[in-house]
Structure 1
Amino acid sequence: MRKSTLAIALAGTTLLIGACAAIRRHGPVGNHAVPQPAKLVDVQRYMGRWYEQYRYEASFEKEMDGVTAEYSLEHDGTVRVVNRGQRRGKWKESIGKAKIVDAATNAKLKVSFFGPFYGNYWVLDHDDDYQWSIVGEPSGRYLWVLTRDPRPSAELLSDIEGRVKSLGYDRSLLRRTQH
């Protein structure tokens, strides 16, 4: 009896995971050939507060401004992630965790805000001094441009936009985040 219950539970879980994998992601593809990360990431230097400057709009971030991401390294090697943003005058916060999945570069992580469900987080490029970062994932539907300064110079933003374009992303899909 126990074996059959376990088999049913396993089959149900497999079916649920398969169904979740088959669900179409929302939003247009802004890059049909997402590149591999360009540089190694020094995890210690990547930690801290980042200010979102641009993004591809996603349902979980729709109409948000003042968006920040705060990363801190935990004792077990995972990264604590705190995302904050404001929508219609109300602050929202999501706390998650990330784990490095490519130890050779530290540029590919899996991030979770919902229990056992993880999404890709690839640091596609960053400044040598970690003053800006371009983050994406393999589907090409998500993109974030992050800086350490909430209001960087127009010249820096223009340079980063040029880099976004050179990575193959459709800049017309970018939404500017207000700070």
Structure 2
Amino acid sequence: MKPFGLIAALAAAALSACTSQPDYRAQKTAPPTVPQVDLERYAGLWYEIARYPNGFEANCAGVTAEYAPRDDGRITVINTCHKGSVDGPVKVARGVARVMEQSGNARLKVKFAPSWVPFAWGDYWILHLEQDYSAVLVGDPGGKYLWILAREKTLDADTLTRIKARAGELGYETAPLEMTDQG
């Protein structure tokens, strides 16, 4: 395949992947994010507690996300999934995030595609963050993606209920959230 044909095929695949994901948020106005995020406190390991169904995490258990600041001001992102079960084969996705200007570090763009793919940045908005940085609600403003993450493998029922209620207040459907098996 010629280089242009390869680029066109990758572009078509990326665009079709973006459009096939359902929207679970009816509101078209952008939701508010938290006012400020201390990225040093946010860095580290997070366990996925719940997520909207999506193709790239199909059949994933034991999902984690790890964030580390880089010298260039960006953030290294390492997402890990165990296929089939928490003891299943490991699948790792490495990416990079950049903070959107004037967002208080709460609106980021994340990319898992090679650096030469210019259009593959996705929204990563911090919609709710526990004061002690123990749990977070993250999603995109359109409602295609939503995650609840925590510093521990489990999240107490009251905190989970509160975070889901916040998601609902922001216009996100909570019924489609799937609980992640952390073992």
TM class, shorter-chain normalised?
A: 0.7 to 0.9
> 2: CA distance between counterparts of 1:109 and 1:136?
10
Moved more, 46-55 or 149-158: 149-158
Q: Does 1:93 align with 2:92?
A: yes
Moved more, 24-33 or 75-84: 24-33
Q: Does 1:172 align with 2:175?
A: yes
3-state SS of 2:105 partner: coil
User: Which residue pairs with 2:125 in the alignment?
Assistant: 122
Moved more, 114-123 or 75-84: 114-123
3-state SS of 2:20 partner: coil
Once the two structures are TM-superposed, the CA of residue 22 in structure 1 deviates from its matched residue by 5.7
1:75 paired residue among 71, 78, 85: 71
> 2: CA distance between counterparts of 1:137 and 1:102?
17
1:19-57: CA deviation from partner (whole Å, max 9, x where unpaired): 678645223211122412132111111111111111101
Contact conserved, 1:39 with 1:125, CA < 8 A, in 2?
no
Letter of the aligned partner of 1:97 in structure 2? Answer: V
Q: 1:168 to 1:70 in 2, by over 3 A?
A: same
Higher alpha-carbon Rg: 1
Contact conserved, 1:39 with 1:124, CA < 8 A, in 2?
no
> 1: CA distance between counterparts of 2:89 and 2:107?
32
> 1: CA distance between counterparts of 2:10 and 2:36?
32
User: Which residue pairs with 2:33 in the alignment?
Assistant: 37
3-state SS of 1:171 partner: coil
1:53-102: CA deviation from partner (whole Å, max 9, x where unpaired): 11101100012111100000011111000000111221111111111113
Letter of the aligned partner of 1:123 in structure 2? Answer: I
Contact conserved, 2:35 with 2:103, CA < 8 A, in 1?
no
TM-score normalised by structure 1 residue count? 0.84
* Structure 1 segments unaligned to the other structure (5+ residues): 1-8
User: Which residue pairs with 1:27 in the alignment?
Assistant: 21
User: Quick check: which one's strand share is greater?
Assistant: 1
User: Which residue pairs with 1:159 in the alignment?
Assistant: 162
**Identical pairs, percent:** 36
> 1: CA distance between counterparts of 2:65 and 2:139?
14
Moved more, 111-120 or 60-69: 111-120
Q: Which segments of structure 1 move beyond 6 Å, counting only runs of 4 or more?
A: 15-18
3-state SS of 1:164 partner: helix
> 2: CA distance between counterparts of 1:27 and 1:138?
13
> 1: CA distance between counterparts of 2:103 and 2:94?
26
TM-score normalised by structure 2 residue count? 0.82
> 2: CA distance between counterparts of 1:21 and 1:85?
21
Letter of the aligned partner of 2:61 in structure 1? Answer: D
Contact conserved, 2:128 with 2:163, CA < 8 A, in 1?
no
